[in-house]
Amino acid sequence: MNPDRFRDNLNAVRARMDEAARRAGRDPSGVTLVAVTKRNPPGPIRLLVDAGATDLGENYPQELWSKVESLAGLPVRWHLIGHLQGNKAKKTLPMVRMVHAVDSLKLLRTLDDLAGGLAEPPAVCLQVNVSGEDSKHGWGPDDLPRDADSIASCRNIPVVGLMTIAGYGTTPDEARPAFARLRDLRDGLRTASGLALPELSMGMSNDFEAAIEEGATFIRVGSALFEGAEG
Protein backbone atom coordinates (compact mmCIF):
# COMPACT_ATOMS: atom_id res chain seq x y z
CA MET A 1 0.00 0.00 0.00
CA ASN A 2 1.24 3.37 -0.94
CA PRO A 3 0.34 6.37 1.29
CA ASP A 4 1.33 8.85 -1.42
CA ARG A 5 -1.14 7.27 -3.77
CA PHE A 6 -4.01 8.00 -1.38
CA ARG A 7 -2.87 11.59 -1.05
CA ASP A 8 -2.61 11.94 -4.84
CA ASN A 9 -6.01 10.35 -5.42
CA LEU A 10 -7.66 12.52 -2.79
CA ASN A 11 -6.06 15.68 -4.14
CA ALA A 12 -7.09 14.78 -7.69
CA VAL A 13 -10.71 14.16 -6.68
CA ARG A 14 -10.79 17.41 -4.66
CA ALA A 15 -9.39 19.38 -7.59
CA ARG A 16 -12.04 17.92 -9.91
CA MET A 17 -14.74 18.73 -7.32
CA ASP A 18 -13.56 22.33 -7.05
CA GLU A 19 -13.51 22.78 -10.81
CA ALA A 20 -16.98 21.32 -11.20
CA ALA A 21 -18.32 23.62 -8.47
CA ARG A 22 -16.72 26.66 -10.08
CA ARG A 23 -18.12 25.76 -13.50
CA ALA A 24 -21.57 25.75 -11.89
CA GLY A 25 -20.95 28.99 -10.00
CA ARG A 26 -21.10 27.14 -6.68
CA ASP A 27 -18.96 27.44 -3.57
CA PRO A 28 -16.79 24.27 -3.45
CA SER A 29 -17.23 24.14 0.33
CA GLY A 30 -20.89 23.31 -0.25
CA VAL A 31 -19.99 19.80 -1.44
CA THR A 32 -18.94 17.08 1.03
CA LEU A 33 -16.84 14.18 -0.20
CA VAL A 34 -17.94 10.88 1.34
CA ALA A 35 -15.09 8.40 0.81
CA VAL A 36 -16.70 5.01 0.19
CA THR A 37 -14.64 2.40 2.01
CA LYS A 38 -16.74 -0.72 1.38
CA ARG A 39 -14.74 -3.91 0.81
CA ASN A 40 -11.54 -2.18 1.92
CA PRO A 41 -9.86 -3.36 5.13
CA PRO A 42 -8.94 -1.01 8.01
CA GLY A 43 -5.28 -0.63 6.94
CA PRO A 44 -5.88 1.26 3.69
CA ILE A 45 -8.74 3.18 5.27
CA ARG A 46 -6.36 4.53 7.92
CA LEU A 47 -4.03 5.71 5.16
CA LEU A 48 -6.91 7.45 3.41
CA VAL A 49 -7.85 9.21 6.64
CA ASP A 50 -4.20 10.18 7.23
CA ALA A 51 -4.30 11.66 3.73
CA GLY A 52 -7.24 13.86 4.75
CA ALA A 53 -10.55 12.01 4.30
CA THR A 54 -13.03 13.12 6.98
CA ASP A 55 -16.29 11.42 5.98
CA LEU A 56 -16.44 7.67 5.32
CA GLY A 57 -19.29 5.72 3.74
CA GLU A 58 -20.22 2.05 4.04
CA ASN A 59 -22.93 0.10 2.21
CA TYR A 60 -23.74 -2.70 4.62
CA PRO A 61 -24.71 -2.14 8.26
CA GLN A 62 -22.68 -5.08 9.55
CA GLU A 63 -19.56 -3.97 7.69
CA LEU A 64 -20.14 -0.47 9.05
CA TRP A 65 -20.40 -1.75 12.62
CA SER A 66 -17.18 -3.72 12.41
CA LYS A 67 -15.26 -0.80 10.90
CA VAL A 68 -16.60 1.70 13.40
CA GLU A 69 -15.22 -0.66 16.04
CA SER A 70 -11.88 -1.46 14.43
CA LEU A 71 -11.25 2.20 13.52
CA ALA A 72 -12.53 3.70 16.79
CA GLY A 73 -10.73 6.92 17.64
CA LEU A 74 -10.16 8.03 14.06
CA PRO A 75 -11.36 11.62 13.51
CA VAL A 76 -14.07 10.72 10.98
CA ARG A 77 -17.82 10.83 10.54
CA TRP A 78 -19.51 7.69 9.24
CA HIS A 79 -22.25 7.51 6.63
CA LEU A 80 -24.46 4.57 5.75
CA ILE A 81 -25.00 4.80 1.98
CA GLY A 82 -26.69 1.44 1.34
CA HIS A 83 -29.93 -0.29 2.28
CA LEU A 84 -30.81 -0.38 5.97
CA GLN A 85 -33.00 -3.16 7.31
CA GLY A 86 -35.36 -2.01 10.05
CA ASN A 87 -33.96 -4.54 12.52
CA LYS A 88 -30.44 -3.09 12.11
CA ALA A 89 -31.52 0.53 12.56
CA LYS A 90 -31.31 0.80 16.33
CA LYS A 91 -27.64 -0.15 16.47
CA THR A 92 -26.74 1.87 13.37
CA LEU A 93 -28.33 5.26 14.06
CA PRO A 94 -26.03 6.42 16.89
CA MET A 95 -22.93 5.58 14.79
CA VAL A 96 -23.57 7.75 11.76
CA ARG A 97 -23.78 11.33 10.64
CA MET A 98 -26.19 10.48 7.87
CA VAL A 99 -28.28 7.63 6.52
CA HIS A 100 -28.26 8.32 2.78
CA ALA A 101 -30.64 5.71 1.42
CA VAL A 102 -33.92 5.58 3.35
CA ASP A 103 -35.93 3.71 0.76
CA SER A 104 -39.47 3.37 2.17
CA LEU A 105 -41.99 5.14 4.32
CA LYS A 106 -42.00 2.12 6.60
CA LEU A 107 -38.27 2.46 7.27
CA LEU A 108 -38.57 6.22 7.72
CA ARG A 109 -41.25 5.67 10.38
CA THR A 110 -39.06 3.10 12.14
CA LEU A 111 -36.19 5.60 12.18
CA ASP A 112 -38.51 8.33 13.42
CA ASP A 113 -39.60 6.17 16.36
CA LEU A 114 -35.98 5.33 17.24
CA ALA A 115 -34.84 8.95 16.85
CA GLY A 116 -37.26 9.99 19.59
CA GLY A 117 -34.88 8.31 22.05
CA LEU A 118 -31.69 9.92 20.75
CA ALA A 119 -30.25 13.30 21.80
CA GLU A 120 -28.72 13.87 18.36
CA PRO A 121 -30.30 11.63 15.74
CA PRO A 122 -28.49 11.51 12.39
CA ALA A 123 -29.91 13.23 9.33
CA VAL A 124 -31.43 11.13 6.58
CA CYS A 125 -31.93 11.40 2.83
CA LEU A 126 -34.70 9.60 0.97
CA GLN A 127 -33.61 7.38 -1.92
CA VAL A 128 -35.37 7.95 -5.22
CA ASN A 129 -35.14 5.40 -8.02
CA VAL A 130 -34.94 8.01 -10.76
CA SER A 131 -33.62 5.63 -13.40
CA GLY A 132 -36.47 3.15 -12.80
CA GLU A 133 -34.20 0.09 -12.69
CA ASP A 134 -35.83 -2.82 -10.91
CA SER A 135 -32.62 -3.60 -9.07
CA LYS A 136 -32.69 -0.29 -7.20
CA HIS A 137 -34.50 0.57 -4.01
CA GLY A 138 -36.39 3.71 -3.21
CA TRP A 139 -39.38 5.85 -4.04
CA GLY A 140 -40.50 6.01 -7.62
CA PRO A 141 -40.43 9.64 -8.79
CA ASP A 142 -44.22 9.73 -9.00
CA ASP A 143 -44.71 8.36 -5.48
CA LEU A 144 -42.89 11.13 -3.62
CA PRO A 145 -45.61 13.82 -3.84
CA ARG A 146 -48.17 11.29 -2.57
CA ASP A 147 -46.10 10.70 0.57
CA ALA A 148 -45.20 14.36 1.23
CA ASP A 149 -47.49 14.74 4.25
CA SER A 150 -46.42 11.42 5.78
CA ILE A 151 -42.77 12.36 5.34
CA ALA A 152 -43.32 15.76 6.94
CA SER A 153 -45.09 14.15 9.89
CA CYS A 154 -41.87 12.34 10.93
CA ARG A 155 -40.63 15.01 13.30
CA ASN A 156 -37.94 13.18 15.28
CA ILE A 157 -35.70 12.13 12.40
CA PRO A 158 -34.34 15.06 10.35
CA VAL A 159 -35.19 14.46 6.69
CA VAL A 160 -32.69 16.73 4.94
CA GLY A 161 -32.81 15.78 1.28
CA LEU A 162 -32.86 13.18 -1.49
CA MET A 163 -30.39 10.60 -2.78
CA THR A 164 -30.08 8.68 -6.02
CA ILE A 165 -27.78 6.30 -7.88
CA ALA A 166 -27.51 6.99 -11.60
CA GLY A 167 -28.08 4.07 -13.96
CA TYR A 168 -25.31 1.49 -13.98
CA GLY A 169 -22.94 1.73 -16.89
CA THR A 170 -24.11 5.17 -17.87
CA THR A 171 -21.71 7.89 -18.92
CA PRO A 172 -21.65 11.18 -16.98
CA ASP A 173 -23.66 12.82 -19.75
CA GLU A 174 -26.25 10.08 -19.55
CA ALA A 175 -26.38 10.38 -15.77
CA ARG A 176 -26.83 14.16 -15.79
CA PRO A 177 -30.58 14.13 -16.55
CA ALA A 178 -31.12 11.80 -13.57
CA PHE A 179 -29.29 14.27 -11.33
CA ALA A 180 -31.30 17.20 -12.67
CA ARG A 181 -34.46 15.17 -12.13
CA LEU A 182 -33.55 14.50 -8.50
CA ARG A 183 -33.07 18.23 -7.95
CA ASP A 184 -36.48 18.95 -9.48
CA LEU A 185 -38.09 16.24 -7.33
CA ARG A 186 -36.45 17.81 -4.29
CA ASP A 187 -37.86 21.22 -5.23
CA GLY A 188 -41.30 19.68 -5.60
CA LEU A 189 -41.15 17.80 -2.30
CA ARG A 190 -39.91 20.94 -0.58
CA THR A 191 -43.02 22.80 -1.67
CA ALA A 192 -45.34 19.89 -0.89
CA SER A 193 -43.88 19.05 2.53
CA GLY A 194 -42.65 22.39 3.84
CA LEU A 195 -39.29 20.76 4.67
CA ALA A 196 -36.15 22.71 3.67
CA LEU A 197 -34.42 19.67 2.10
CA PRO A 198 -31.05 21.34 1.45
CA GLU A 199 -29.13 18.15 0.62
CA LEU A 200 -28.72 16.13 -2.57
CA SER A 201 -26.61 12.95 -2.26
CA MET A 202 -25.66 12.03 -5.81
CA GLY A 203 -22.58 11.29 -7.88
CA MET A 204 -19.96 8.50 -7.72
CA SER A 205 -16.45 8.07 -9.17
CA ASN A 206 -17.76 7.92 -12.69
CA ASP A 207 -20.13 10.85 -12.65
CA PHE A 208 -19.53 13.13 -9.64
CA GLU A 209 -18.64 16.19 -11.68
CA ALA A 210 -21.97 16.13 -13.50
CA ALA A 211 -23.68 15.62 -10.13
CA ILE A 212 -21.95 18.67 -8.64
CA GLU A 213 -22.89 20.77 -11.65
CA GLU A 214 -26.50 19.70 -11.07
CA GLY A 215 -26.47 20.56 -7.37
CA ALA A 216 -25.02 17.63 -5.35
CA THR A 217 -24.11 18.51 -1.76
CA PHE A 218 -22.78 15.01 -0.92
CA ILE A 219 -20.89 12.89 -3.43
CA ARG A 220 -20.05 9.24 -2.67
CA VAL A 221 -16.70 8.26 -4.18
CA GLY A 222 -14.94 4.91 -3.78
CA SER A 223 -12.88 3.56 -6.66
CA ALA A 224 -11.35 6.92 -7.66
CA LEU A 225 -9.81 7.12 -4.16
CA PHE A 226 -8.56 3.54 -3.88
CA GLU A 227 -7.34 2.96 -7.43
CA GLY A 228 -3.69 2.10 -7.77
CA ALA A 229 -3.20 2.05 -4.00
CA GLU A 230 -2.40 -1.67 -3.77
CA GLY A 231 1.01 -1.30 -5.35
Interface residue list for ligand PLP (CB under 6 A): 36, 38, 59, 81-82, 165, 204-206, 220-224
- Min dist CB 159 to ligand PLP, Å, is 18
- Min dist CB 226 to ligand PLP, Å, is 8
Taking the least distance from each CB to ligand PLP, the nearer of 59 and 110 is: 59
Taking the least distance from each CB to ligand PLP, the nearer of 81 and 160 is: 81
List, in order, residues 6 or more apart from 9 with CB less than 8 Å away.
Answer: 224, 225, 226, 227, 228, 229
Packed helices 61-70 and 42-50: angle between N→C axes, nearest 10 degrees: 70
- Min dist CB 218 to ligand PLP, Å, is 10
- Position with the least CB separation from ligand PLP: 222
- Min dist CB 98 to ligand PLP, Å, is 13
Taking the least distance from each CB to ligand PLP, the nearer of 110 and 201 is: 201
Which residues is 127 bridged to in the sheet? 163
Taking the least distance from each CB to ligand PLP, the nearer of 170 and 205 is: 205
Residues 218 and 135: their CA atoms lie apart, in Å, by 23
- Per the CB < 8 A criterion, the answer to whether 13 and 224 are in contact is yes
Residues 201 and 217: their CA atoms lie apart, in Å, by 6
